[in-house]
Amino acid sequence: MSLPVHLVPTLQGVVVGDVVTVEGDEAHHAVAVRRLRVGEQAVLTDGAGVSVQGSVGSTGKRVFTLDVDSVSATPPAAPEIVVVQAIPKGERGELAVEVLTEIGVARVVPWAAGRSVAVWKGERAAKSLARWRATAREAAKQARRSWHPEVSELASTADVVALVSDAALAIVLHEAASAPFADVVVPAGGRIVVVVGPEGGLSEDEVAAFVAGGAVSVRLGAEVLRTSTAGVAAVAAILSRTPRWG
């Protein structure tokens, strides 16, 4: 069984033999919820590629220390995968972020698509973005990721076009597309952008703008997937053709 992973602000400069102190909510969860005890092994990560493993030296109400036995630095995964996720209604947004994090995407970009049912404005936008980021953080720990994904600020269609234009490969999932996903040539490196539309579907103008920016409009199959699960299906299909899953 994998060791529990806890997030700390930074591990830069930490070497074997150091003692790292974990405080606040992260420590409270480890000690009070997971019941981490002195002498047990655990892993800490900074979410930026560095992880350490060691034994718990002490615990408190909202604090514990780890005696570092080993340090590992992991380079970012290649190709980098970015998913543009149209805002779904209800809790489907958090579900999408959770499964995309578990499968290994580098960034999730919430997108205000023209036919999105949910609308992020004002305080609701701030709270929704905070939930997405919290979901990504917890899912990354569950998945034992050394690199945690970024959840970007809310993007407009113009922002997405710019992102698509700068990618090594950009695909738009569209149920009416004539090209099957099987025809897509997946690069071994660079940035791959996957655009997932809303419950109401992509508009013709949106698809045209993305294709003009260099994206390929494709269909995954005959079935119509929910916006919360289409992204993970596409990313899994992509990863199966890269060295990451080779």
Co-location of 111 and 22 in the same domain:
no
Contact present, 7 and 137 (Cβ < 8 Å): yes
Co-location of 134 and 185 in the same domain:
yes
Distance from the Cα of residue 164 to its chain's centroid: 18
- Give the percent of the chain with pLDDT over 90: 90
In the structure, what pLDDT confidence band is assigned to residue 1 with cuts at 50, 70 and 90?
A: low
Co-location of 90 and 19 in the same domain:
no
Single pTM value for the model: 0.93
Among residues 42, 58, 73, the one where a domain terminates is 73
Instruction: Tell me 48's DSSP state.
Output: B
**3-state class of 40 per DSSP?**
coil
**What pLDDT digit, counting tens, does each position of 88-104 carry?**
988 999 999 999 999 99
Co-location of 100 and 202 in the same domain:
yes
* Average pLDDT over all residues of the chain: 95
Co-location of 139 and 235 in the same domain:
yes
Co-location of 55 and 25 in the same domain:
yes
Co-location of 20 and 133 in the same domain:
no
The mean pLDDT value for 196-202 works out to 93
CA distance 22 to 88: 35
Co-location of 84 and 69 in the same domain:
no
We report the CATH number of the domain holding residue 58 as 2.40.240.20
Among residues 73, 88, 117, the one where a domain terminates is 73
Co-location of 223 and 145 in the same domain:
yes
Co-location of 52 and 84 in the same domain:
no
Q: Which domain holds residue 69?
A: 5-73
User: 10 Å Cβ neighbour count for 234?
Assistant: 23
Residue 130 half-sphere exposure toward CB, CA atoms < 13 A: 6
Co-location of 37 and 125 in the same domain:
no
**What pLDDT digit, counting tens, does each position of 122-180 carry?**
999 999 999 999 999 999 999 999 999 999 999 999 999 999 999 999 999 998 898 99
The mean pLDDT value for 204-228 works out to 94
* Rg of the chain in Å (alpha carbons): 20
The mean pLDDT value for 59-78 works out to 96
Query: Which sign, positive or negative, has the C-alpha torsion 206, 207, 208, 210?
Result: positive
CA distance 64 to 54: 12
- How many domains does the structure of the chain reveal? 2
Among residues 73, 93, 112, the one where a domain terminates is 73
